[in-house]
Amino acid sequence: MADAPGPEFRSGFVCFVGRPNTGKSTLTNAMVGAKIAITSSRPQTTRHTIRGIVHRANYQLILVDTPGLHRPRTLLGQHLNDLVRDTYSEVDVVALCIPADEKIGPGDRWIVEQIRQVAPKTTLLGVVTKIDKVSRDEVAGQLMAVSRLLGENADVVPVSAVQGAQVDILADVIASKMPEGPAFYPDGELTDEPEETLMAELIREAALEGVRDELPHSLAVVIEEIVPREREDEEPAPGREKPLKELLDVHANLYVERPSQKAIVIGKGGARLKEVGTNARKQIESIFGTRIYLHLHVKVAKDWQRDPKQLRKLGF
């Protein structure tokens, strides 16, 4: 455990919650200052509670990015909801994310009810996300609406994670709610998520881009093997032996529920799977700072979202 710089240091855990696609993962990445949670225009993209770590001179925040809470239709959906509810009671602050460009609806009220039932003593605050999409007057109106939803004693902070607007202010407000105590992680550490999980999530994000609505909930990615090997640099210095650079061979399986979905992921002549591999590799290399060679295979696991045995096999 890292030592804290002084008695006023604060540290604790915060969970971003909200309906699917309210900007929770984008906000997590903006606060951490690096990509540790995948983002997508598709609802229910996040499937793991990813811990991002925010380091400041006088506080440390551990961000728990949960899946979007929703009314489940499958066993996987129920599992994701259980993950979220378990998190509520284990964190110091729950931050409810509601977009500036969407009216508060029954789903938001249902989430507030769930939070207050499961974790009545946990501090709840509001975050109005995506303020770059609307006018100042509309932001002001949404701030008032969220305040009415949560009660006058709850803080409500407007942010634009894409533009970085108010992100530091939100971090300061959250930190003010945290107990005094030492840092949980060494300075510079950004996440405690295993490498395999981050890689699998980045591959799934790449595979979800530009596909039809039927695919997102049916796609799972499992890293089967990561094998380090040495490779020769293509352009050695003149007169010298070829230096070696580390390369990771990453073998991953992409699971879908039907053969028709397999065809979508692979694309004509394998073109789409190749594009997925290229995009995922760039993201993984930028995060891990290591050359990556991806070996992607698409497999059918029929109705895996409703099969407890297959859910366990796929890591849920």
Please state, as a whole number, how many other Cβ atoms lie within 10 Å of the Cβ of residue 115: 22
Number of H helices, E strands in the chain: 9, 9
d(C-alpha 146, C-alpha 154), whole Å: 9
Strands 10-17 and 59-65: parallel
Q: Is 81 annotated as a binding residue?
A: no
Q: Is 23 annotated as a binding residue?
A: yes
Q: Is 121 annotated as a binding residue?
A: no
Q: Is 132 annotated as a binding residue?
A: yes
Q: Is 69 annotated as a binding residue?
A: yes
Q: List residues bridging with 247 in a β-sheet.
A: 229, 291
Q: Is 18 annotated as a binding residue?
A: yes
Q: Is 194 annotated as a binding residue?
A: no
Q: List residues bridging with 13 in a β-sheet.
A: 62
Q: Is 130 annotated as a binding residue?
A: yes
Q: Is 186 annotated as a binding residue?
A: no
Helix ranges, the chain (H)? 24-32, 75-88, 106-118, 136-150, 167-176, 195-208, 259-266, 271-288, 308-313
Q: Is 141 annotated as a binding residue?
A: no
Q: Is 66 annotated as a binding residue?
A: yes
Q: Is 26 annotated as a binding residue?
A: no
Q: Is 67 annotated as a binding residue?
A: yes
Known binding-site positions for GTP: 18-25, 65-69, 129-132
Known binding-site positions: 18-25, 65-69, 129-132
